[in-house]
């Protein structure tokens, strides 16, 4: 019988620490599958973020570095410039990439660094207990927006991908989602494209993944998937941005 689903070498055979219904496990798996399909495991260097995915290197079976919160793209720049023959990617959440690290994000993109960015947008700070993220939707309740995010006090959900698309140094940006099997497949195709771009020296590529956080959305895993489908993707429309 033909095996159509099996372990992938770039992912260790261990359980993750993620909450039930969290999107990180799927996103980790997609990155690992792409790395293996492209045959680049032995030259890949990943940058783990500060946040729930800080120990991503406990799951990925290739070289990894941590970075200070928000500095992943500066660290990645240092690594890639020293070792242009390696494949270097960052894996960052919304707070990391679009709040504390906005400067590093914009400037790495603007320099056209030949890097791949996996951007997990779950509209909340997970690791620290569900505070407002730059991508938190208007009306969304978090531990620091108890009555829901209001534009008067908290500003608007930051569309960093659309902002980055304006920069001439950016080669590829796409927003995908993890809320349904068909979307997961599309997400994998986008991640693969972002890695292929780096292999072909095309420059800065970023894939934004809308990713469920049932714990800090106060929802069941099923409700969280529905919330992405019915609510979140209205604010963050899926598809190729650049």
- Where along the sequence are the contacts to another protein (CB under 8 A)? 41-45, 48, 54-55, 57, 60-68, 70-71, 74-79, 81-83, 86, 103-104, 106-107
Using the minimum distance from each CB to another protein, give the nearer residue, 106 or 170: 106
149-177 per-residue burial string, b: 16 or more CB within 10 A, e: under 16: beeeebeebbbbbebbbebeebbbbbbbb
Using the minimum distance from each CB to another protein, give the nearer residue, 101 or 157: 101
Using the minimum distance from each CB to another protein, give the nearer residue, 101 or 130: 101
Using the minimum distance from each CB to another protein, give the nearer residue, 12 or 186: 12
Rounded to a whole number of angstroms, the minimum distance from the CB of residue 211 to another protein is 22
Using the minimum distance from each CB to another protein, give the nearer residue, 63 or 235: 63
How many Å apart are CA 170 and CA 167, to the nearest integer?
6
Rounded to a whole number of angstroms, the minimum distance from the CB of residue 157 to another protein is 24
Q: Is the dihedral of CA 41, 33, 221, 14 positive or negative?
A: negative
Rounded to a whole number of angstroms, the minimum distance from the CB of residue 160 to another protein is 16
Residue 108 backbone phi and psi in degrees, to 5: -65, -40
Using the minimum distance from each CB to another protein, give the nearer residue, 26 or 100: 100
Coil, helix or strand at residue 27:
helix
Coil, helix or strand at residue 20:
coil
Rounded to a whole number of angstroms, the minimum distance from the CB of residue 102 to another protein is 10
Rounded to a whole number of angstroms, the minimum distance from the CB of residue 137 to another protein is 29
DSSP for 33-92, written as a single string: HHHHHTT-GGGEEEEE-SSTTTTGGGTB-SEEEE--TT-HHHHHHHHHHH-TTSEEEEEE
Rounded to a whole number of angstroms, the minimum distance from the CB of residue 79 to another protein is 4
């Amino acid at each position: 019988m033909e095996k159509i689903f099996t372990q992938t070498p770039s992912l260790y055979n261990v359980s993750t620490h993620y909450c039930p219904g969290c999107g990180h496990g799927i996103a980790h798996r997609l990155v690992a599958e792409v790395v293996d399909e492209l045959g680049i495991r032995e030259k890949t260097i990943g940058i783990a973020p500060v946040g729930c995915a800080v120990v991503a290197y406990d799951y990925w079976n290739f070289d990894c570095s941590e970075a200070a919160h928000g500095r992943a793209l500066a660290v990645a720049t240092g690594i890639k410039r020293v070792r242009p023959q390696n494949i270097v990617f960052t894996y960052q959440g919304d707070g990391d990439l679009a709040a504390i690290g906005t400067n590093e994000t914009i400037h790495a993109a603007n320099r056209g660094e030949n890097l791949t960015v996996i951007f997990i947008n779950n509209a909340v700070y997970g690791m620290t207990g569900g505070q407002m993220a730059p991508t938190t939707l208007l009306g969304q309740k978090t531990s620091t927006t108890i009555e829901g995010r209001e534009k008067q006090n908290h500003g608007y959900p930051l569309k960093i991908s659309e902002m980055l698309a304006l920069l001439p140094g950016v080669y590829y940006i796409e927003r995908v989602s993890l809320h349904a099997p068909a979307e997961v497949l599309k997400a994998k195709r986008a991640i693969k494209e972002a890695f292929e771009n780096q292999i072909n020296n095309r420059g800065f590529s970023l894939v934004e993944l809308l990713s469920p956080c049932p714990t800090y959305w106060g929802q069941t895993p099923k409700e969280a998937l529905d919330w992405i489908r019915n609510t979140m993707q209205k604010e963050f429309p899926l598809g190729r941005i650049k």
